[in-house]
């Protein structure tokens, strides 16, 4: 196989790169697979937004599940092609596999029912998606990052908390306030948005480690997870309110799965931690923004009612951001020319 310098990964499409900086040949005809899956996803989108007609089972069940199953297979295949990051992509593929199994079994058992029960056994499989995705992210971090930089991880924690504030206010709180279901259904409804918020926060934490310069692979992973969590959040709120969703946005899960599968095959360099050091005000800008947001929410709470969860999270944001500013602010290193002393005059 052909070798390359880790700092200059090849950009040729259809070829993946392992964590040792080695090109891995893609299976023959993979480009046609992407084209076919993109076409199937586009057909599902066109149907669900009202541009196409036909039986809903064709688009919401058959085409949808074909894309999900293919995405799972592509991620599992990537795991077998890349020895170093094998556990990461097998975990991602396993996450998508249990999601597919939940979809297929639910369709077989409850697909023809006008008022299917909730929750069902399929929710157990769908909820398994989250720990498997987190496992894949952890494995990918261990492979891709050669150095751990505390101040960048603190940036990620601050952003995670910001996401939690927004998630509690926009998603979790409406689920709790409008739910009139059984306690088990409330727990399941509550689990989806909370786990979604934590998963997005984890991805943003990785972006913090990357110095907010993620490569194509991490961007696709992040956008794919975001697409899936948007569908979960909308489902949880509508289910709690007793609104019939009629499959109008099932395509967002297909889009998310396709993006995650494609992320597995894009080139990515080995060491993604060696970014340019950020110093001065830029190093603490994110922490300052987090503090400003938290203070703004606390001030708003003086005049309007704010949920207890938002109050608690914003206090934690203030504490974490303060630690980031006081203890982990990166300092510029000494000038090499000064460290070596004055240049002798001949």
Inside any domain, residue 108: yes
Inside any domain, residue 78: yes
Q: Which residue has the tokens 């409850």?
A: 110
In degrees and rounded to multiples of 5, residue 332 shows phi and psi of -65, 135
Quick check: 151 pLDDT over 70? no
Quick check: 84 pLDDT over 90? no
Q: CA 51, 56, 59: angle at the middle one, nearest 5?
A: 70
User: What tokens were used for 242?
Assistant: 């007793």
**Residue 259, pLDDT score:** 96
Of the listed ranges 70-74, 109-113, 220-224, 280-284, the least confidently predicted one is 280-284
Q: Which residue has the tokens 């794919």?
A: 224
Of the listed ranges 3-17, 141-155, 216-230, 291-305, the least confidently predicted one is 3-17
**Residue 181, pLDDT score:** 61
Please state the rounded mean pLDDT for residues 119-131: 91
Mean pLDDT score of the chain:
74
Inside any domain, residue 197: yes
- Please give the Cα distance from 11 to 13 (Å, whole number): 6
Inside any domain, residue 207: yes
Quick check: 171 pLDDT over 70? no
Inside any domain, residue 298: no
**Residue 99, pLDDT score:** 94
**Residue 168, pLDDT score:** 63
Of 289 and 48, the one with more pLDDT: 48
The beta strand positions in the chain, using DSSP E, are 16-17, 23-24
User: What crossing angle do the helices spanning 30-48 and 251-263 adopt, rounded to 10°?
Assistant: 160
Please state the rounded mean pLDDT for residues 109-138: 87
Inside any domain, residue 41: yes
Q: Verify cis geometry, omega within 30 degrees of 0, for the bond prior to 53.
A: no
**Residue 73, pLDDT score:** 96
Of the listed ranges 8-17, 237-246, 286-295, the least confidently predicted one is 8-17
**Residue 325, pLDDT score:** 59
Query: What are the angstrom distances between the C-alpha of 104 and each of 228, 251, 327?
Result: 17, 16, 51
Of 160 and 266, the one with more pLDDT: 266
Structural domain range at position 150: 16-277
User: What tokens were used for 190?
Assistant: 């509550």
Please state the rounded mean pLDDT for residues 113-128: 86
Of the listed ranges 125-134, 225-234, 299-308, the least confidently predicted one is 299-308
Inside any domain, residue 316: no
- Please give the Cα distance from 271 to 6 (Å, whole number): 7
**3-class SS at 16?**
strand
Closest CA to 252 of 60, 115, 72: 60
Residues 6+ apart with CB under 8 A from 70: 33, 37, 261
What's the total number of domains in the chain?
1
Quick check: 60 pLDDT over 50? yes
Quick check: 4 pLDDT over 50? no
User: What tokens were used for 283?
Assistant: 């190093």
**Residue 92, pLDDT score:** 97
**3-class SS at 215?**
coil
Whole-prediction pTM: 0.75
**Contact of 264 with 74, CB cutoff 8 Å:** yes
> Sign of the CA dihedral 72, 75, 81, 82?
negative
Quick check: 291 pLDDT over 50? yes
345 DSSP assignment? P
Quick check: 255 pLDDT over 90? yes
Inside any domain, residue 345: no
Quick check: 186 pLDDT over 60? yes
- Please give the Cα distance from 22 to 17 (Å, whole number): 6
């Amino acid at each position: 196989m052909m070798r390359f310098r880790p700092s200059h990964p090849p950009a040729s499409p259809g070829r993946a790169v392992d964590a040792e900086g080695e090109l891995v040949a893609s299976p023959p005809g993979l480009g046609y697979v992407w084209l076919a899956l993109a076409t199937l996803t586009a057909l599902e989108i066109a149907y669900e937004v009202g541009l196409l007609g036909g039986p809903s089972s064709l688009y919401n069940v058959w085409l949808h599940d074909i894309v999900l199953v293919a995405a799972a297979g592509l991620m599992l295949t990537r795991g077998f092609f890349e020895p170093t990051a094998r556990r990461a992509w097998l975990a991602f593929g396993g996450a998508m596999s249990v999601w597919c199994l939940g979809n297929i079994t639910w369709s077989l058992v409850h697909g023809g029912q006008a008022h299917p029960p909730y929750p069902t056994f399929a929710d157990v499989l769908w909820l398994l998606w989250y720990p498997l995705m987190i496992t894949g992210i952890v494995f990918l971090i261990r492979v891709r990052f050669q150095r751990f930089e505390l101040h960048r991880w603190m940036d990620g924690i601050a952003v995670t908390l910001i996401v939690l504030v927004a998630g509690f206010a926009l998603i979790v709180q409406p689920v709790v306030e409008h739910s009139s279901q059984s306690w088990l259904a409330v727990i399941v409804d509550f689990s989806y948005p909370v786990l979604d918020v934590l998963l997005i926060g984890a991805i943003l934490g990785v972006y913090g480690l990357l110095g907010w310069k993620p490569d194509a692979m991490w961007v696709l992973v992040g956008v794919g997870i975001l697409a899936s969590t948007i569908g979960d959040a909308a489902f949880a709120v509508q289910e709690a309110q007793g609104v019939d969703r009629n499959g109008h946005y099932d395509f967002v899960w297909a889009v998310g799965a396709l993006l995650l599968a494609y992320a597995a095959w894009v080139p990515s360099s080995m060491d993604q931690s060696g970014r340019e050091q950020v110093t001065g005000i830029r190093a603490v800008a994110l922490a300052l923004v987090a503090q400003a947001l938290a203070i703004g929410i606390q001030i708003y709470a003086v005049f309007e009612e704010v949920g207890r969860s938002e109050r608690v999270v914003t206090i934690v944001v203030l504490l974490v951001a303060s630690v980031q500013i006081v203890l982990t602010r990166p300092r510029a290193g000494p000038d090499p020319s000064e460290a070596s002393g004055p240049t002798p005059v001949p």
